[in-house]
Amino acid sequence: MQSKQQYSHKLTKLILTTYLCCLPLIACNNQQQVSQENQPSPTAEPQTSSTTAPLLQASLPQKNNYFLDNQIWGENGDKQNLLAAIDNSLSYLQTSQSKAAYQKYIIPEITKERVEKSLIRFRELVVNSQNAEELQAAVNKEFVLYKSIGSDNQGNILFTGYYKPIYQASREQTSEYRYPVYRLPDDFKNWSKPHPTRLELEGADALQADKGKLKGLELYWLKSRIDAFIAQVQGSAVLEFADGTTTSINYAGNTDHEYVSLGKELIKDGKLEQEGITLEKVINYLEENPESQDEYLPRNPRFIFFRDTKDAAAIGSLNVPVTPERSIATDKSLMPPGALAIIRARFPFINQGEIEQRLVSRYVLDQDTGGAIKSPGRVDYYIGIGKEAGDRAGAIVNQGELYYLLLKD
């Protein structure tokens, strides 16, 4: 989101943090659930001489409604959100950034012009279709699919989720609000490498920053050290002040260190079990064992800087807003930026206060990236803002499929 986003995601999560450590478990448990409930997925047909191409053209599924997106219409439909996300991608495709990205894109037939035409036509279909079945029939007729090869060259994708948290904050440091979030240093490009680690920048207790490079860079102060850390993991946050006003902070840059998963560290040290690991469990452990925060939080050496965006939406790596449940983050060295895609996997929904996983298909726009989102086998799904979005995002550790849709030549 550029949140997790350029780092992102951005994740992210993230949530990411806890999930990456669980890849073997996830692949074992969740993929079986998907295959038991579904028709066979469309098969990939090699269309390029490169064995490393991240996308391969795929045949249409035998089941016409395999990709049916039932969230666009109805009482709680998000048709306008989908249209807004399409418009954001179309705006990106008018930029010099997009021109440069597609000039070097590794699949020759996926061009900026083709992606743009595909978005324009798909938008027309969304506007003019009366229901999900009518839209899907038109898409099946006019578009071709390019399937991600996944992490295993078989099309299996690990999905995680990210969101924009809401935290209480102060414009001044107080005894209650002690933990800052920081703006990007003006001279950051001149920092020598290797960059300082998180431990070197803010100390083991995250309260020593005024003694080093971060002094004077404080944007706002948060109550909880974990809140400040998770804001960095997510790449953005909404901040609420005591006077009733709010603002948003979004990703501005990061130090040049690899992201380290706290979930993985806690599992390695025997503090948590690998099975069923979630972001919530990691946070609960750290809150219930506050003395552990000085040990574990500095193990992630990557440090994120923010900019105050004055209540703007979360912004992805394409410098356009990300839209709840209609934007994804992928590895932008492999995937076509701004392009239309469809994802199919189990995702969490809240039903009478409880999280339940449902197998769904969703049209999405590829508008973000993340520090932990590497390879064709990773997708981070933007869920939205606030606690409910966070609860749902934290429950996404599922296998699924990713396809890009392009108009037929």
Provide the pLDDT for residue 279.
81
Residue 170 per-residue DSSP state: E
Whether the pLDDT of residue 394 is over 90: the answer is: no
Determine the pLDDT at residue 70.
94
- The closest of 123, 115, 132 to 84, measured between CA atoms, is 123
Which DSSP helix (H) or strand (E) runs through 351?
strand 340-351
Which class in CATH covers the domain with range 164-309?
mainly beta
Collapsing DSSP to helix, strand or coil, 70 comes out as coil
Provide the H-helix boundaries in 308-403: 387-393
Mean pLDDT of 62-70: 89
Q: How far apart are CA 302 and CA 189, in angstroms?
A: 16
184/1: higher pLDDT:
184
Residue 81 binned pLDDT confidence (cut-offs 50, 70, 90):
very high
Quick check: 162 pLDDT over 80?
yes
Is pLDDT at 13 greater than 50 in this prediction?
Answer: no
Two tokens, residue 100: 């440069």
Burial of 127 (0-12, 13-18, 19+ CB in 10 A): exposed
CB of 122 closer than 8 Å to CB of 340: yes
241, with CB counted inside 10 A (0-12, 13-18, 19+), is middle
User: Does the structure show a pLDDT above 80 at 314?
Assistant: yes
Q: Are 316 and 235 in contact (CB under 8 A)?
A: no
How far is CA 239 from each of CA 98, 198, 216, 321, rounded to the nearest angstrom? 31, 22, 20, 18
One DSSP character per residue, 86-149 reads HHHHHHHTTSHHHHHHHHT-SSTT--HHHHHHHHHHHHHHHHH-SSHHHHHHHHHHHEEEEEE-
Q: Tell me the average pLDDT across 305-319.
A: 92
Query: In the prediction, which pLDDT does 25 show?
Result: 27
pLDDT at res. 12? 39
pLDDT (average), residues 129-153: 96
Residue 370 confidence class, pLDDT cut points 50, 70, 90:
confident
Least confident window among 132-146, 193-207, 347-361 = 347-361
> 113 is written with which tokens?
């012009």
**pLDDT beyond 80 at 18:** no
55-162+318-407 maps to which CATH number? 2.40.40.10
| Angle (deg, nearest 10), helices 225-234 and 279-288 | 160
Q: How far apart are CA 366 and CA 329, in angstroms?
A: 6
How far apart (Å, rounded) are the C-alpha atoms in residues 102 and 112?
A: 6
On whether the pTM is more than 0.95, the answer is: no
- Distance from C-alpha of 176 to C-alpha of 326, rounded to nearest angstrom: 37
Q: How far apart (Å, rounded) are the C-alpha atoms in residues 390 and 163?
A: 6
Q: With H, G, I as helix, E, B as strand and everything else as coil, classify residue 227.
A: helix
Ranges of H-type helices in 181-318 = 198-202, 225-234, 262-268, 279-288, 293-296
3-state secondary structure of 232: helix
Residue spans per domain, the chain: 55-162+318-407, 164-309
Is there a contact between 120 and 405 (Cβ–Cβ < 8 Å)? no
Q: What's the rounded mean pLDDT across residues 275-299?
A: 92
